[in-house]
Amino acid sequence: MLTFFVICDTMNVVFGRVLRFGEQIHSRIPLHFDIERGNKMKDNNNLVRFLLTFFLGWLGSLIINHTSLKPEGHTSRTGAYIIWGYITCGIYVLVASICNLTFDPSKEKNIGYKKD
């Protein structure tokens, strides 16, 4: 009999795969992927960028551009926070600040940022 399942516990996730009855599970993948990859510092910066832009809007974007929080090779779009924030009644600021949580410099496009 073949089964497919996903087992979750407090610290580990076992991704399901087709198993034969009685087969042992040998692969465990930690939930803390970022710690395993060494991206903890990047995530802290993403959180700080999110908080700055969420609570301060364009002023937070300006602070990001002039501190060590600025991602290498990218510039926060301060003008877009001002103009689009006004036109969309703050929706752009909300969306762009949430996208700061998932900022990845390897992606071709990041909302709220332009490449230098």
User: Based on the domain organization, do 46 and 20 belong to the same domain?
Assistant: no
State residue 59's pLDDT score.
96
Chain CA centroid to CA 61, Å: 17
State residue 22's pLDDT score.
60
* Residue listed under structure tokens 């996730």: 13
Output the DSSP codes for 64-78. Answer: HHTSTTSPTTEEE-H
pTM equals 0.62
What's the length of the chain? Answer: 116
User: Based on the domain organization, do 57 and 111 belong to the same domain?
Assistant: yes
Distance CA 57, CA 97 (A): 8
pLDDT (tens digit, 0 to 9) for every residue of the chain, 116 residues total?
444 344 433 333 344 455 555 655 554 444 444 444 445 556 789 999 999 999 999 999 999 999 999 999 999 999 999 999 999 999 999 999 999 999 998 888 899 999 98
State residue 116's pLDDT score.
87
Q: Which of 4, 20, 74 is nearest to 46 (CA)?
A: 74
User: Based on the domain organization, do 42 and 25 belong to the same domain?
Assistant: no
Q: Which of 109, 102, 107, 60 is nearest to 81 (CA)?
A: 60
User: Based on the domain organization, do 70 and 96 belong to the same domain?
Assistant: yes
Distance CA 60, CA 112 (A): 12
State residue 43's pLDDT score.
76
Instruction: Give the domain extent around 24.
Output: 2-31
User: Based on the domain organization, do 84 and 51 belong to the same domain?
Assistant: yes
